[in-house]
Structures are given as C-alpha cells and as structure tokens.
Amino acid sequence: MTMPDYQNLLFARSGPITTITLNRPEKHNALDRVLSDELNRAVRQVRGDRDCRILVLRGAGDTFCAGDDIAEFNTWGPEDPYWQVRLYQETVQIIEDLTPITVAAVDGVCTGGGLELTLVCDFVIATDRSRWGMPEIDWDITPGWGGTSRLPRFAGRRKAKEWNLIGALFDAATAERYDLVNRVVTPEDLTAEVEALCQVMLRKHPLTVRRTKFIMNKSADLHVSGALAFEVPIMPFSGTTGIAEFTDRDARARRRELSRDFWQDRGGKQNQEIPGRR
C-alpha cells in the first residue's frame, strides 16, 4: 500500500495496525481546513485497506485535539461553516463505520471536535492529565460532530446539556465515569496500554470481530426486538469459523490468557470465568 503524503497529519502503517496522528502540536492539534481535509482523506484510505485491522487515532505532542481552529473562522465566507460541518460529519461517520477496530489515544486537551472524534471510536484510552469539554458555546458555536446527538447517548441528556451549555472542562476520571473513556493511565503508560489492547484484539478472529462490531453499531438505534434480528442471520456464519476455533484448545487458551483479566484493577479480585465457558 502506498503511503500518502500529508502536511498536518502523520499516517503510519505497522503490519495490521494503522496510526493517524494529528500533527499541529503548536496549535494543540486544532483542526484547520488543511488538517480537516487530510483527516477525511486518511480515514478513507483506511476504509479501502482490507489488511488493516486496527486504527489508532492520536495527537502529536501532549495534546489530542482542541477541536476547530477558531482563528481560521475569520477567513471563512458565509457558506463555509455549512460545508465544513458536512465534511466533519462525513469524517466521523466513516470512522464509526470502519471495519477495523478504532482506538483513540488521548493525552492533554480533548475538547470540542476532539471529544466528538472519540465518540465514534470503539475504544478510548486516556491519560490522567487529559482535559475534556465542549466549550463551543463561549465562542457562539453549536457542536456539529455529534456533541448534541452522540454525547447524550454516552453520558445521558442531563450531563450532556451541562457540558454543552456551560462549557466547563472536566478531568479524565469524570470522562471515565460517564463512559467516554475505557481506561485511564499515566502519560508514560499510554503507548504501552494502547499496544496491549491492540495485541489482545489481534488475537481474536477478524471476521468475528467485524461481525460483532457491525451488529452493535447497526443495532444501537433500534428497539431491542429489531436489534436481536441482526444477530439471527449472522450467527450461522459465525459458527462456521467459531466452532473450529472453539475446538482448538491451544489457540483458545492463548487468547483467553490475554483477554480474561485484561483491564482488571491492579491488585483487585480477578475476573471469574462463567462455569462451562472456559
């Protein structure tokens, strides 16, 4: 696969793992027109890569993404906000629908469009110094990437209204408590934690991962009875590969060794397997 050239974005491929790094650290990786266009191109590149199994999104330096580059707004014409929001929404929808597992590695500032980017990722790992928020209201801007639609589905309407209408920042512990983050680590451990998650996911059967992600994404907006209908036609296909994998005791043991106690609290009670499911 040919590696594309970018001005404000780093695109790297290591085996089945692709890493996209927002690369404007001097601007807190704020999204100007160039970076917005490049991010859209980059996720399209990932969408067309059948060998990619994991996409990691991160920011250069000690910041994930501060959202829009507010200073650039002064150069916009009257129709530019409309087209920019359409581009943003297309980008996050592509990320949400990607076949590969998506992981956001968040350090430092994660606000506005940066926070909205994380909402469409499958996993979010953040440092304990990361700061989150939806401050657009103080710039007379309404969120356009999912801050008023996706965010309430994670945190509930009450908290999402608080964050959007007040615009206060909050810490990583709060983000984790309201399901915006899977795991909080020190800045020194962020890269290792992301790598550990990638290795766990790479041990799993790729088709089963893709099917499970597809079902969960497509059934999220459905009534339970409609969502269950997605599982019925896909299950027989899962069984074709799943039964063979299940009977391979060595492969199963290796996979379970990595997965069984993953992300359990250090020193806490280990996760107990359900009887009959070993």
In angstroms, the CA 60 to CA 77 distance is 30
Find the DSSP H helices in the chain: 33-47, 80-97, 113-118, 151-155, 157-166, 172-177, 190-202, 206-219, 224-247, 249-259
User: What count of residues does the chain have?
Assistant: 278
Check residue 227 and give left, alpha or beta (phi > 0: left; psi -120 to 50: alpha).
alpha
Name 67's Cβ contacts closer than 8 Å, sequence gap at least 6: 30, 31, 111, 112, 113, 114, 115, 116, 135, 136
In angstroms, the CA 163 to CA 13 distance is 36
CB 121 within 8 A of CB 93: no
**Which one-letter amino acid corresponds to residue 84?**
Q
Number of Cβ atoms within 10 Å of the Cβ of 237: 12
Pairing of strands 170-171, 131-133: antiparallel
Q: Which residues are catalytic?
A: 116, 136
CB 21 within 8 A of CB 60: yes
